[in-house]
Amino acid sequence: MTTHTPSVVVFGSLHYDIMVHGPARPRKGETVTGSSWRPKCGGKGGNQAVSAAKAGVRSHMIGAVADDDFGRALIDNLAERNVDHRFVKRAHGVGSGMSVAIFDSEGDYGAVIVSGSNLTLGQADVDAAREVFTPGAVLVLQNEVPDHANVSAARAMKAVGGRVILNAAPARPLSQDLEQLVDVLVVNAIEAEQLAETPVVDTLAGALGAARLLAQTFPIVVVTAGGEGVACATGAGEEFSLEAMNVKVVSTHGAGDEFTGVLAAELSRGSDIRVALEAANQAAAILVSTPTSD
């Protein structure tokens, strides 16, 4: 087990989410009458930082918001959830990141994000937060900020002996510079298909096959398969899969971020990948089956 203080550093996105509930997601040109809406503080980075803090480790957020109502709400949310937000900057000339997510009656959703201030992140933000890049810490990245910014953060963490998790969502091509710095890749079936450049069936067997293929490039690959479970393969030839827990789904929103945040927290404690994935799998199941009160 680890001898350092467990610490997770999340470098990435903060979005103010508008959650809309309706009978179905609209098709092109269609207007659907919704039943309710609510605001929620999110962004993959923000969600993952909150998840890591909730799992009981030190959680640091490096990000960017604007000096607007959305930005202030995002900062307040991090403070309330025990996330260190000293290195969330106030960007000028842009608005805070935001998204609109539309849920159907089954709890599934589609979303549109506007990145805004998240696109201003870069080397200067890494330099300003050097004190949280420490030996044994785990850095979590996503694809909602520029690739060059992720490379800067990953290089800083690797330089001090930390580990790098990339949750490669939303799907986009990765630079070779970033690929070479990733210790653990976390993707769903769609993202795995984009990175592997081959069709991936959204089943546990399909996820394991994709993980095996991507492990030729990344040391550890985790492919989630929604309600089926999660598969893992390593460059060293280890592979296994875990079935999803049998729960009644209320909403899938944020499940992937909860999973990634808990995974990072467990790895920062020194857990091996199987133990970490078991904890992450359980946390995601609890989240999707818990009615929201906010």
**Which residue intervals of 116-162 are DSSP H helices?**
123-128, 147-159
Using CA atoms, how far apart are residues 61 and 83, in angstroms rounded to an integer? 7
pLDDT tens digits, one per residue of 143-201: 999 999 999 999 999 999 999 999 999 999 999 999 999 999 999 999 999 998 888 88
> Per-residue pLDDT tens for 47-81?
999 999 999 999 999 999 999 999 999 999 999 99
| Phi/psi of residue 202, nearest 5 degrees | -80, 65
Q: Give the model's pLDDT for residue 54.
A: 96
Each domain of the chain, given as residue ranges in start order, spans: 7-182+245-288
Domain with residues 7-182+245-288, CATH architecture? 3-Layer(aba) Sandwich (3.40)
pLDDT of res. 205? 92
For residue 253, name the pLDDT band (cuts at 50, 70, 90). Answer: low
pTM: 0.91
> Is 214 within 8 Å of 233 (Cβ atoms)?
yes
Residue 36 or residue 227, greater confidence: 36
* Predicted pLDDT at 105: 87
Q: Is the peptide bond before 291 cis (omega within 30 degrees of 0)?
A: no
CB-based contact 229:246 (threshold 8 Å): no
CA 179 to CA 137: how far, in whole Å? 19
Residue 70 to residue 158: CA distance in whole angstroms: 33
Bridge pairing between strands 229-234 and 220-224: antiparallel
Q: Which residues pair with 65 in a beta bridge?
A: 90
Q: What is the pLDDT of residue 195?
A: 93
Q: Residues 138, 163: contact at Cβ < 8 Å?
A: yes
Q: Which residues contact 2 (CB under 8 A, 6 or more apart)?
A: 136, 268, 269, 270
pLDDT tens digits for 106-121?
A: 878 888 889 999 999 9
User: Strand 239-243 to strand 229-234: parallel, antiparallel, or no bridges (unpaired)?
Assistant: antiparallel
pLDDT at 3: 60
Tens of pLDDT along 199-222?
888 889 999 999 999 999 999 999
Tokens encoding 95: 């608005």
d(C-alpha 48, C-alpha 14), whole Å: 10
Tell me which DSSP letter residue 38 carries.
E
Token pair 């009981």: residue: 56
